[in-house]
Chains A and B, each alone.
Chain A
């Protein structure tokens, strides 16, 4: 019989084209939905002398990546580079959002990326968070208050595991959903 591992979903990295705007968005909206004590925002964009110097010394983690690639005989040129043929994956521009136990490190996008059209509010990839009926009703008020377009509430027929959902996006067009579980 196959081994069934215990696997927990710990965190999901998303990308943003403006870290401050992302932090304000998640901080304000999810604090008003779940309570401020449930939401933690951490800004870690080169905020220590040590991390700044590390970046200067190493060119972000890019140079270290190149060393690793050389060791492994991997040619990654043509991916995302810093102009010298080195892949830049330095994560010195990042923050994180924690909503209850759901951790989402937010990495600054290092190039402009095509977003879905503004009128598309429901898409993939997407992260959903659980809410009660009351929280969902309040959430829609919160979204209206901050001028965040949303779709819903959308009722889901059985066998859908959620009864009702509201769909929206963060300011960098990461798709989000608030869902009322069917067993609620």
Chain B
């Protein structure tokens, strides 16, 4: 037991109609049903078990106390299971608004929804997509502007291409605007000379390297840059990973004539 992982042992929830809620948690949500009245000291109860071994005990009470604002219980599923459960709950009318999802304040790899149980307890279902690919903007070759439009020391967000054009004394970089943590969109904070991810507070220097005592994600991805007739052309079809040891590698800028 000393090495037994510590996790929730049990969640107890009040319900007003045990039979109705038992059906919901078993047939709609899909939890493993363990049995009725397995906790003799409690009111009439039904018990379920999650895949990671936590019990969910429903106890029947005369009056269910409402959840406070923000209170919810999160269940994590593999993505294929998530969609099975999500569609079933939606079809049966248990879905509820999920504002962070609707407002796009979620990372691209996170799939999540909120649902109500029959007593209006809020549950959240979440899946993390397995593949972890920083998406390219796929807008083809984007002409960002003339070389002289990007003086040394500037960072320019090229919205239509989904990248930041960074100009330093050593050259130029086109950094993918997608965070390498969980694929949220970065913002540039000129006051700090850093890119900032609002989702999970990751920060990156202008060379794409993470700012952290213990970096936990890869540098920002890059796009290939070409200089054509004095124009900066960025190929947004292929997002290129950058190894930490290569972050200072910039694309040399041709000398301007005249």
Taking Cβ atoms with an 8 Å cutoff, the residues of A that contact B are: 2-15, 34, 38, 48, 50, 54, 61, 64-65, 67-69, 71-72, 74, 80, 88-89, 91, 99-102, 107, 109-110, 113, 124-130, 132, 154, 156-157, 159-162, 175, 177, 179, 181, 184
Q: Are the CB atoms of B52 and A156 closer together than 8 Å?
A: no
Q: Are the CB atoms of B70 and A9 closer together than 8 Å?
A: no
Contact of B85 among A5, A15, A88, A132 (CB under 8 A): A5
Which residues on A sit within 8 Å (CB–CB) of B34?
A: 161
Can you name 27 A-B pairs with beta carbons within 8 Å? Answer: A4-B32, A7-B29, A7-B30, A7-B50, A7-B51, A8-B50, A8-B54, A12-B72, A13-B70, A13-B72, A14-B71, A61-B99, A68-B102, A91-B70, A101-B6, A102-B8, A107-B69, A124-B61, A128-B10, A128-B11, A129-B8, A130-B7, A132-B1, A157-B40, A159-B35, A160-B39, A161-B38
B255: interface (CB < 8 Å): no
Contact of A7 among B4, B5, B81 (CB under 8 A): B81
Which residues on A sit within 8 Å (CB–CB) of B11?
A: 9, 12, 125-128
Report B214 CB to chain A, min CB distance, Å.
15
Residues of B40-72 whose CB lies within 8 A of A: 40-41, 47, 50-52, 54-56, 59, 61, 65, 68-72
Residue of B nearest to A183 (CB): B1
Q: Are the CB atoms of B38 and A181 closer together than 8 Å?
A: no
Q: Are the CB atoms of B103 and A68 closer together than 8 Å?
A: yes
Residues of B214-235 whose CB lies within 8 A of A: none
Q: Are the CB atoms of A5 and B30 closer together than 8 Å?
A: yes
With A and B bound together, what is the CA distance between A52 and B189 in angstroms? 15
With A and B bound together, what is the CA distance between A109 and B69 in angstroms? 8
- How many A-B residue pairs have C-beta atoms within 8 angstroms? Tell me: 174
Q: Are the CB atoms of B6 and A38 closer together than 8 Å?
A: yes
When A and B form their complex, which 4 residue pairs have the shortest distance between CB atoms, in order from nearest? A100-B6, A5-B81, A128-B10, A9-B54
Residue of B nearest to A182 (CB): B38
Which residues on A sit within 8 Å (CB–CB) of B103?
A: 61, 64, 67-68
B126: interface (CB < 8 Å): yes
